[in-house]
A and B are shown apart, each in its own frame.
Chain A
Amino acid sequence: MHLHKYEKYWLGLGTIGLIAFLLILGFGAFYLGTHPQSHGELIDPENLEMNEAFREENLGLTEVDEGRYVLNVVASAFNYNLGTDESGTPVNHIELPAGSKVLVQATSPDVVHGLNFAGTNINMMVEPGYVSALEVQLDNPGEYTLVCNEYCGVGHHLMYGTLEVVE
C-alpha cells in the first residue's frame, strides 16, 4: 500500500502521540497505582450483614485513625443508608476535615446504583453481589453532593446526600 509522504508524517506523529498517551496512562496506573475502582469482593445481596462493614451499626462514617476514615454505604432503591445519628435519625450529611483520607465501601441489596460525590474522585458503580471500595484524600474544602448516577428506577433522581469538607 502506497502512503503519501505527508500521510506518513501524519500517521507517524499520531502514532507517537498515541504511544506517549498510553505510556502516561500506564505510568499513572502501574507506577503511581492510580486505578479506577476494581475492588471486587463478593457479598450476598440478600444477606449484607454477613459482611461486618454493612451491619447497621457500622454504616456511615467512622474515624479509624488520625485523619483516616471509613465510610460504609448501602445504596438501595431509592436511598443511601449512611447510618443513624445518636437520636436514631438517618444521616444524609457527613463532615470531614480537609486533608483526611477516606475509604468508601459500598454495596447494594437490590439493583445497580452509582455512587458519586460530585466534584471529588469518588465515582463508582455499586452492583449487587460486589463490594465497591475506593480510598481518596479530600483536600479541597466545600460541599459535595452525593448523587446516584446509574439509573436504578423511577426514583433514581431522589437518591442523594451531602459531604462537607471543612477547613
Chain B
Amino acid sequence: METATAPAKITNVFTNRGTKELSLPKNERRLVMSYMYVAFISLFIGGLMGLLQVLVRSGSFELPWGINYYTILTVHGVILGLVLTSFFIIGFQNALMGKTVGYSKKQLNWAWIGFAVMTIGMISAAITVLLGKANVLYTFYAPLQAHPVFYIGITLVVVGSWINAFVNFRQFYVWKKNHPDEKSPLLAFMVVINMLMWCIATIGVASAMLAQFIPWSLGYKNTINVLLSRTLFWYFGHPLVYFWLLPAYMAWYAIIPKIIGGKIFSDTLARFSFILFLFFSIPVGLHHQLTEPGLDSTWKFIQVILTFMVVIPSLMTAFSLFATFEITGRKKGYGGLFGWLKHLPWKDVRFLAPFIGMLAFIPGGAGGIVNASYQINTLVHNTIWVTGHFHLTAATTVILTFFGIAYWLIPHLTGRKLTKSVNRLGIIQTILWTVGMLIMSTSMHIQGLIGGPRRSDYSDYGGTAQAAEWGAYQMAQAVGGTILFIAIILMVYIFIKMVFFSPKGEEEFPIAQEEDHAEFTPKWTENWKLWISITIVLILFAYTVPVMDVIQNAPPGSAPFDWPIGNS
C-alpha cells in the first residue's frame, strides 16, 4: 500500500511497509489454473484409492479384477503425497509471485516449461504404477525394483519443480534490483525460502535417482547401496513435509489476517520463523531411521536434537496467529478474556477450513514430538500410528488450509465469485472432513499404539487376539474413510462449480498489510548469503560423518528384486 518514509539516518532497517499488489493477467491465471486442474484431479483419484484401502482393510471387501492392494496404496501415496501437494503448492506460489513481484514474458514461458516437465514426469510415473510395474509405494525403498520409467518420471517431476524454483528466484532477484532499498514483499520472501529449502532438499532424492536407482534399474549397475539410498531419501523426505507445511503458514501469516479484517502481527517475526524453518528442516532426516541397523546412535541422537529445534518457530507461529485473532477482535470492540473469539468469521469458509487445520496441528505436532523422541519412537515406528499422524498434519492441517485457499483463489483465477451457496457447501465439506478424519486418524493412532502395522493389506496374522483387536479399529477407519471420500466428492463438485458455473465477478485475492505504525523490518532478514551458509553448515555438520560411514563401511551391495512386487 502506501510507503512511509523514515529519517534517512536509519540504515539497518527497511523503511517501506506493506505489499504493493499487482493484478494477475490472463496468461498468469491460466498457468496457475493448470496446476490446480492437476491438483484436483489428483485429489479425486487419490481419495478414491484411499476409500478402497480402508474398505479392503475392513476385511469385508475385495478388490475386483485382481487389482493388487499395494498398487492402490502406491497410487494413493504418490498422487496425494507427491503430485497433489507439489502441483497445488507450486501453482499457489506462482500466484503469490505474480501478485507481489510479477512475471516477465520470458519468466512466464519458463514457468510453463517447468509445468510441462513436471506433468510429463508425473504421467510417465503414473503409467508404470497403473500397469503394476511399480508397486514400491511412494518411498520406493531399494532393493525393491520398479520399472526404470517410474524413477525417471519422478526425477522429471523434481526437475520441473527446479525450473519453477529458478523462475521464482529470478523474479525475486529482478524485483530486488529494481527496488534496491525496499523490503521484499512478505509472501515473495516466503516463497523464496520454501523453494530454497526444496532445492537443497531435493538434491538428496535427485542424486539417489541419478547415481543409484536409474542406472541400477536399467541394468548398468549390478548392485545398490541400500542404506545410502534410504539416507538420501530421508534427507529429502523430512523437508518434504515442511515443503507442504510452509505454504499453509504463508496463508496463516499473511492471508488469514486480511480475511478476518486484521493486519499482519509482525512482518519481522514471520520472516524470522521462515528462516528458522529453512535451518531446521533439512539436517534432521535420521529421525525417520531411528531403528535402522547401519547408523550410529550418536548421530541419530544429534539429529533428534536438531529436529526438536522446530519447536521454536512453531511456537512463534502459534503465538502470532492467536495474537492476530485477539488484536483484531479487540479493535472491533469485543472485550473480555475470550470475547474476541466471537468476532472471528466462523461462517466464512475461507477462515473456517484453515482454522480447523490450525487446531489439528496441536495434536499433530504433539504426535510428531512422540515420533521424533529417540526411544519412544521404537513403540510407534512403522505402526499405523504414523499413518494417523500424517493424516492429521498433512491431510488435515495442510489440506484444509489448501482448500481454504482454493475457495478464493480458484474464483479469482476464473473471474468468478465465491457465492453464498458454495460457501455453505464449503462449510459442510469442512465439517465432513473434520468428522471423518477425527474417526479415522484417532483409530489409527490407537491401533498403532497397540502394535498394528502400517502399509499392510488385510490380514488376520494367523488369527491372534491382537489382530482381532486391530480389526475393530480398521472397521472404524473404514467408517471415517468413507466420510472423507464423501467430503472429497463434495470438494471436487465445489471445484467444478467454481471453475465453470459460479457467477462472473472479481473475487478478492486477500493479502494482509502491516499496521500503519508497525515496526520497520531489519535489513538482516534479507541476508541471503548468511541464511544459505548456515543451512549448508548445519547439513554438513549433521550428515557428513553418517554418510561417509554408510559409504565407507558398506556391506556388499544389493541386487535388484523385482519379483516381490510382482514386476518380474
B-binding residues in A (CB < 8 A) = 1-4, 6-7, 10-11, 14-15, 17-18, 21-22, 25-26, 28-29, 34-46, 77-78, 92, 110-112, 114, 116, 118-119, 121, 123-133, 143-145, 147-158, 160-162
Once the chains bind, are A11 and B315 in contact (CB under 8 Å)? yes
| Contact residues, B89-145 vs A (CB, 8 A) | 135, 137, 139, 141-144
Once the chains bind, are B453 and A154 in contact (CB under 8 Å)? no
Cα–Cα distance between A65 and B226 once the two chains are bound (Å): 36
Once the chains bind, are A127 and B137 in contact (CB under 8 Å)? no
Total CB contacts across the A-B interface at under 8 A? 230
Interface residues on chain B, number (Cβ under 8 Å): 77
Cβ of B25 within 8 Å of any chain A Cβ, yes or no, is no
A29 touches which of B226, B297, B323, B556 (Cβ 8 Å): B297
Decide: A43 near B555, CB < 8 A? Known: A110-B561, A149-B383.
yes
Cβ of B240 within 8 Å of any chain A Cβ, yes or no, is no
Report the minimal beta-carbon distance from A89 to chain B, rounded to whole angstroms: 15
| Contact residues, B490-520 vs A (CB, 8 A) | 519
A-binding residues in B (CB < 8 A) = 68, 70, 135, 137, 139, 141-144, 226-227, 230, 266, 268-269, 272, 289-297, 300-301, 304-305, 308, 311-312, 315-316, 319-320, 323, 369, 373-375, 377-379, 381-383, 450-459, 461-462, 464-467, 519, 522, 553-559, 561, 563-566
11 contacts between A and B (CB under 8 A): A1-B522, A18-B311, A25-B301, A36-B381, A40-B553, A110-B143, A123-B382, A125-B289, A129-B226, A156-B455, A156-B456
CB-defined contacts of A148 to chain B, threshold 8 Å: 453
Closest-by-CB residue of B relative to A3 is B269
CB-defined contacts of A18 to chain B, threshold 8 Å: 308, 311-312
A28 touches which of B227, B374, B455 (Cβ 8 Å): B374
Closest-by-CB residue of A relative to B380 is A123
Decide: A10 near B315, CB < 8 A? Known: A112-B141, A121-B378.
yes
Report the minimal beta-carbon distance from B547 to chain A, rounded to whole angstroms: 15
Closest-by-CB residue of A relative to B224 is A128
Once the chains bind, are A129 and B374 in contact (CB under 8 Å)? no
Once the chains bind, are B291 and A37 in contact (CB under 8 Å)? yes
Report the minimal beta-carbon distance from B398 to chain A, rounded to whole angstroms: 22
Report the minimal beta-carbon distance from A164 to chain B, rounded to whole angstroms: 10
Once the chains bind, are B297 and A145 in contact (CB under 8 Å)? no
Of B294, B297, B304, B467, chain A has the most CB atoms within 10 Å of the CB of: B294
Once the chains bind, are B556 and A11 in contact (CB under 8 Å)? no
Cα–Cα distance between A111 and B108 once the two chains are bound (Å): 45
CB-defined contacts of A119 to chain B, threshold 8 Å: 450-451, 466
Once the chains bind, are A118 and B143 in contact (CB under 8 Å)? no
Decide: A22 near B305, CB < 8 A? Known: A11-B312, A110-B564, A149-B454.
yes
